[in-house]
Amino acid sequence: MNLGNLLHSTSFRLIAWYVAVFAVSVAILLTVVYWITRAALDQQLTDSVEREMSVLTEIHRVRGMESITRGLQRRIADLKPPRRYFLLQSGTGEKIGGNLPAMSPFSGWRDLPIPAEDPGIAPGSKPEAGESLLALGRRLPDGNFLLVAENQYRTIKAREAILVAAGWGIAISLLFAIGGGILIGDSFLRRIEDINRTSRSIIDGRLSDRVPTRGSSDEMDRLAVNLNAMLDRIQSLMESLKRVSDDIAHDLRTPLSRLRRRLEIALEQKRAGQDCGPAIEDAVAEVDAILETFAALLRIAQIESGTRRSAFASVKLGQVVSEAVETYSAVAEDREQRVLADIDRAAVVQGDRELLVQMIANLFENAIRHCPSGTAITVSLTREGGDAVLCVADTGPGIPIAERDKVLKRFYRLEASRTTPGSGLGLALVKAVADLHGAALELESNSPGLRVVIRIRSSGPSRGQRDPAAQGGDHETEELRATPV
Amino acid sequence: MSMKILLIEDDPDTASYVAGGLRENNHVVEHVPDGRDGLFVASGGNHDLMVIDRMLPGLDGLAIVKTIRGAGLKAPVLMLTNLGGINDRVEGLEAGADDYLVKPFAFAELLARVNALARRPPIAPTVAVLKVADLELDRLKRAVTRGGKAIELQPQEFKLLEYLMRNAGQLVTRTMLLENVWDFHFDPRTSVVETHISRLRAKVDRGFGAELIQTLRGSGYCIREPR
């Protein structure tokens, strides 16, 4: 993270504002403290001077001049170093006592300069440094002038100390604020930069890159998690799209060349003056088969994209399977096969009715096509816990264990069944629909034959509570169908 | 029966294929290649039936159907959708279309559906008994008789016969039967329709003289009194 980057970042601007506001509030706080302290110190000084003045005035009133002169001498002698000053002057301006030079009398408060050398009684003691004295003058009732003063040095020093402390306080808190701001902003920017880096990497073609997450579940982490989920979704859609185009390119080539051959035959027959009708009919049938394959491919891709999940509703699976049994029993009988069914008609799942119908039809057709005549196809639908378990078993050649995963892929057909009609998409579609419903699909051996077991999990408790209403709705439509208009 | 049909379709090949075929069958066809213009023409309410493509320039086919249904137009609508759009059918029907057909299609399929739609409602809802020659189907009692003799039918056979009789005299294609009787919106690889038709025939036609359920080669079935 370089500084230029930091200075241009949103978080830096936020931090700068934060620091400014912080600094202003610290300054206001310290100013208030300063003024209050200063006022208190000043008050303390004036109180001290006033107290001394009233004590001396009282001595003068009660005991007279003699006593006050002695009092002044004793006080001055006690001051080491002298920071308090006194002056007692006669009405004619002659100094009677004290440690200040004579001056013109005044009444009230005044600032006085500090005398250059201590004129007081305590010899050898230097006056305290400082700029000025705070003096209170008063004319005594007998016409004499009394002055009490105190060096303001300590007050000024205290004031300065407070100002310096305040300055340091502001400087240090600003440093902390800026430092903290940069640290916070930097960690924030680092995470934004993570996202930027991932974006650039994806733009450059590394589609599987993801934004690193910390598991802290704060806003940034949630943003990263959501971005990753979005990227996963986009990637799976793209892969699905790519698979479709690959599949089309790969597997429609054969039927298309077959179609071309048939049309060539028709053309040759026409040139030779023969009846080309049957050849053209064959070609039309071939085109229909190609279209059907194409539709199935697109359908599987759409199912895999998961967009159908938004249309999930309560589906009476028991009823759907019963109807499929009725439909395919007749077809099976024509092939001298039997369908043995054990259906729990009350089974209900959350799902897409249209796709479930097609999935079940595909299972039946698969079984019927692979079952030799004279045998039975066993179908059962049971409820285990909340799950609906559909089982379709045939007694055909079955699928070797090694091939079981492969038959669920598109266009995969066992070598043995290459000669029978079929697009090789039947079980792939079954798998896609099962996956869409979060159902577990198992291919098992029926020894002999194949048994397909699909376990559709029951929906969560919140959905389960909605079920009765959904079933009610379903029931209504069923009644409408039962008495068609 | 000649109808005034509005065709809203942007693809010129499909349009000329459909319009040409319908005209050959004595219908009057007005063709509009753009969605916005199509809605304008459709709003006139001068057509007995409309064939509307799902994807159109200017204005989407779904939006057209929604708008004209919102305006109270009742003329039946057949929607044409693209291959593989499994949500298109539901969306189309929800928007107010009466039937849909996936492109590419055989013209016979389109004509059969147009005819079926033109006859809608084929029978007033109050009519409980459907009749073709001496075959009677009571929709309330769910009973079938021929020449007064009761015939036992399985539920799906009953549904199949009912659908045929509701469209009596009309060609009903294999796909129409799969969609309306079985609710199959895909082509099964086994002979579901053929099997059930032959079973229905065995019960309804065998031993009664005239054969009412007829196979129209290469296109579908029709129930009618033989001439």
For residue A326, list chain B residues with Cβ-Cβ distance below 8 A: 154-156
Tell if the CB–CB gap between B139 and A295 is shorter than 8 Å. Answer: no
Nearest to B183 among A357, A483, A484 (CB): A357
**Domain closes at, from B63, B88, B118:** B118
Q: Tell me the CB-side half-sphere exposure of residue A134, using CA atoms within 13 A.
A: 19
Query: What is residue B110's predicted lDDT score, i.e. its pLDDT?
Result: 93
Please work out, in degrees rounded to the nearest 5, the angle formed at the alpha carbon of residue A283 by the alpha carbons of A277 and A284. Answer: 90
Instruction: Grade residue A463 by pLDDT with cuts at 50, 70 and 90.
Output: very low
Q: Within A93-151, where are the H helices?
A: none
Q: Does B86 touch chain A (CB under 8 A)?
A: yes
Check pLDDT > 60 for residue B207: yes
Q: Does B141 touch chain A (CB under 8 A)?
A: no
In chain A, positions 319-348, which contact chain B (CB-CB < 8 Å)?
A: 323, 326-328, 330-331, 334
Q: What is the mean pLDDT of residues A96-121?
A: 77
Check pLDDT > 50 for residue A110: yes
Topology of A1-119+128-207 in CATH?
Beta-Lactamase (3.30.450)
Search chain A and give the residue with CA nearest B160.
A327
Instruction: Grade residue A418 by pLDDT with cuts at 50, 70 and 90.
Output: very low
Check pLDDT > 90 for residue A302: no
Tell if the CB–CB gap between B83 and A294 is shorter than 8 Å. Answer: yes
Average pLDDT, chain A: 80
CATH code, domain with B215: 1.10.10.10
Check pLDDT > 50 for residue A476: no
Q: Nearest CA to CA, how far is B190 from chain A (Å)?
A: 6
Tokens of B2: 């000649």
With H, G, I as helix, E, B as strand and everything else as coil, classify residue A147.
strand
Q: Does A465 touch chain B (CB under 8 A)?
A: no
For residues B105 and B175, membership in a common domain is answered with no
Q: Is the dihedral of CA B143, B196, A413, A411 positive or negative?
A: negative
Q: What is the mean pLDDT of residues A251-263?
A: 85
Average pLDDT, chain B: 88
For residue B121, list chain A residues with Cβ-Cβ distance below 8 A: 485
Question: In which element (H, E) is residue A48 found?
Answer: helix A10-63
Check pLDDT > 50 for residue A470: no
Residue B123 lies in a domain: no
Site from A247, A281, A291, A413 to mutate, B interface, most B CB atoms within 10 angstroms: A291
Check pLDDT > 90 for residue A239: no
Q: Return left, alpha or beta for A340; rule: phi > 0 is left, psi -120 to 50 is alpha, else beta.
A: beta
Q: What is the mean pLDDT of residues A434-440?
A: 90
For residue B185, list chain A residues with Cβ-Cβ distance below 8 A: 354, 358
Closest CA to A144 of A76, A212, A66: A66
Check pLDDT > 60 for residue B61: yes
For residue A296, list chain B residues with Cβ-Cβ distance below 8 A: 186
Measure the CA–CA gap between A10 and A15, rounded to whole angstroms. Answer: 9
Measure the CA–CA gap between A94 and A86, rounded to whole angstroms. Answer: 14
Q: Identify the burial level of A228 via C-beta atoms within 10 angstroms of its C-beta, where 0-12 means exposed, 13-18 middle and 19 or more buried.
A: middle
Tell if the CB–CB gap between A331 and B140 is shorter than 8 Å. Answer: no
Query: What is residue B125's predicted lDDT score, i.e. its pLDDT?
Result: 59
- B114 phi, psi to nearest 5 deg: -60, -45
User: What contacts A196, CB < 8 A, 6 or more positions away?
Assistant: none
Nearest to B84 among A299, A330, A426 (CB): A299
Search chain B and give the residue with CA nearest A355.
B185
Q: What is the mean pLDDT of residues A249-258?
A: 81
Check pLDDT > 80 for residue A408: no
Higher pLDDT, A121 or A98: A98
Residue B26 lies in a domain: yes
For residues B13 and B50, membership in a common domain is answered with yes
Q: Does A308 touch chain B (CB under 8 A)?
A: yes
Higher pLDDT, A302 or B80: B80
Query: What is residue A126's predicted lDDT score, i.e. its pLDDT?
Result: 55
In chain B, % of residues over pLDDT 90: 56
For residue B199, list chain A residues with Cβ-Cβ distance below 8 A: 330
Check pLDDT > 50 for residue A203: yes
Instruction: Grade residue A412 by pLDDT with cuts at 50, 70 and 90.
Output: low
Instruction: Grade residue B120 by pLDDT with cuts at 50, 70 and 90.
Output: low
Q: Nearest CA to CA, how far is B160 from chain A (Å)?
A: 11
Q: In what order do the strands lie in the sheet with A84-89?
A: A95-98, A84-89, A145-151, A132-139, A108-113
Higher pLDDT, A13 or B97: B97
Search chain B and give the residue with CA nearest A287.
B104
Instruction: Grade residue B145 by pLDDT with cuts at 50, 70 and 90.
Output: very high
Q: Does B139 touch chain A (CB under 8 A)?
A: yes
Nearest to A291 among B83, B192, B199 (CB): B83
For residues B134 and B104, membership in a common domain is answered with no
User: What contacts A333, CB < 8 A, 6 or more positions away?
Assistant: none
Site from B109, B138, B190 to mutate, A interface, most A CB atoms within 10 angstroms: B190
For residues B108 and B139, membership in a common domain is answered with no
Check pLDDT > 50 for residue A107: yes
Q: Does B83 touch chain A (CB under 8 A)?
A: yes
Instruction: Grade residue A415 by pLDDT with cuts at 50, 70 and 90.
Output: very low
Q: Of A191-205, A265-279, A414-428, which gets the smallest average pLDDT?
A: A414-428
Instruction: Grade residue A128 by pLDDT with cuts at 50, 70 and 90.
Output: low
Query: What is residue A474's predicted lDDT score, i.e. its pLDDT?
Result: 38
Query: What is residue A411's predicted lDDT score, i.e. its pLDDT?
Result: 59
Check pLDDT > 80 for residue A114: no
Check pLDDT > 70 for residue A81: no
Closest CA to B192 of A357, A365, A333, A331: A331
3-state helix, strand, coil in chain A (%, to 5): 60, 15, 25
Residue B66 lies in a domain: yes
Q: Specify the number of domains making up chain B.
A: 2
Question: In which element (H, E) is residue B222 found?
Answer: strand B220-223
Contact A184, A192 (CB under 8 A): no
In chain A, % of residues over pLDDT 90: 18
Query: What is residue B68's predicted lDDT score, i.e. its pLDDT?
Result: 92
Closest CA to B212 of B136, B154, B153, B159: B136
For residues B22 and B88, membership in a common domain is answered with yes
Domains in chain A: boundaries: 1-119+128-207, 219-303, 311-482
Contact A88, A144 (CB under 8 A): yes
Q: Does B195 touch chain A (CB under 8 A)?
A: yes
Q: What is the mean pLDDT of residues B67-76?
A: 90
Among A84-88, A119-123, B76-80, the range of highest mean pLDDT = B76-80
Instruction: Grade residue A166 by pLDDT with cuts at 50, 70 and 90.
Output: confident
Q: Does B88 touch chain A (CB under 8 A)?
A: no
Measure the CA–CA gap between A301 and A429, rounded to whole angstroms. Answer: 9
Query: What is residue B219's predicted lDDT score, i.e. its pLDDT?
Result: 79
Closest CA to A458 of A380, A364, A369, A384: A384
Check pLDDT > 80 for residue A73: yes
Q: What is the mean pLDDT of residues A253-268?
A: 89
Query: What is residue A422's predicted lDDT score, i.e. its pLDDT?
Result: 54
Q: Give B21-58 pLDDT, tens digit per residue.
A: 999 999 999 999 999 999 999 998 889 999 999 988 88
Q: Residue B41 is part of which domain span?
A: 4-118
Check pLDDT > 70 for residue B84: no
Query: What is residue A80's predicted lDDT score, i.e. its pLDDT?
Result: 62
For residues B81 and B133, membership in a common domain is answered with no
Higher pLDDT, A412 or B187: B187
Q: Of A208-222, A243-257, A280-294, B59-73, which gets the smallest average pLDDT?
A: A243-257
Site from A327, A365, A478 to mutate, B interface, most B CB atoms within 10 angstroms: A327
For residues B107 and B194, membership in a common domain is answered with no
**Domain closes at, from B118, B140, B169:** B118
CATH code, domain with B27: 3.40.50.2300
Q: Of A113-117, A203-207, B61-65, which gets the smallest average pLDDT?
A: A113-117
User: What contacts A26, CB < 8 A, 6 or more positions away?
Assistant: A169, A170, A173, A174
Nearest to A302 among B84, B183, B192 (CB): B84
Nearest to A330 among B85, B162, B196 (CB): B196
Check pLDDT > 80 for residue A51: yes
Q: Does B217 touch chain A (CB under 8 A)?
A: no
Tell if the CB–CB gap between B186 and A311 is shorter than 8 Å. Answer: no
With H, G, I as helix, E, B as strand and everything else as coil, classify residue B112.
helix
Nearest to B190 among A292, A296, A331 (CB): A331
Tokens of A203: 């733009």
Closest CA to A191 of A396, A373, A401, A9: A9
Query: What is residue A301's predicted lDDT score, i.e. its pLDDT?
Result: 79
End-to-end CA, chain B: 19
**Where does A311-482 sit in CATH, by number?**
3.30.565.10
Q: Identify the burial level of A364 via C-beta atoms within 10 angstroms of its C-beta, where 0-12 means exposed, 13-18 middle and 19 or more buried.
A: buried
Q: Give B153-175 pLDDT, tens digit per residue.
A: 999 999 999 999 988 888 899 99
Q: Does A484 touch chain B (CB under 8 A)?
A: yes
For residue B125, list chain A residues with Cβ-Cβ distance below 8 A: 485
Closest CA to B165 of B224, B226, B219: B224
Check pLDDT > 90 for residue B186: no
In chain A, % of residues over pLDDT 70: 85
Higher pLDDT, B184 or A289: B184
For residue A299, list chain B residues with Cβ-Cβ distance below 8 A: 84, 86, 186
**Domain closes at, from B92, B118, B144:** B118
Q: Nearest CA to CA, how far is A215 from chain B (Å)?
A: 38
Q: Does B84 touch chain A (CB under 8 A)?
A: yes
Query: What is residue A460's predicted lDDT score, i.e. its pLDDT?
Result: 39
Q: What is the mean pLDDT of residues A135-153?
A: 87
Instruction: Grade residue A219 by pLDDT with cuts at 50, 70 and 90.
Output: confident
Query: What is residue A420's predicted lDDT score, i.e. its pLDDT?
Result: 46
For residue B86, list chain A residues with Cβ-Cβ distance below 8 A: 299, 302-303, 308, 354
Query: What is residue A417's predicted lDDT score, i.e. its pLDDT?
Result: 46
Q: Of A77-81, A94-98, A289-293, which gets the smallest average pLDDT?
A: A77-81
Q: What is the mean pLDDT of residues A192-220?
A: 87
Query: What is residue B126's predicted lDDT score, i.e. its pLDDT?
Result: 64
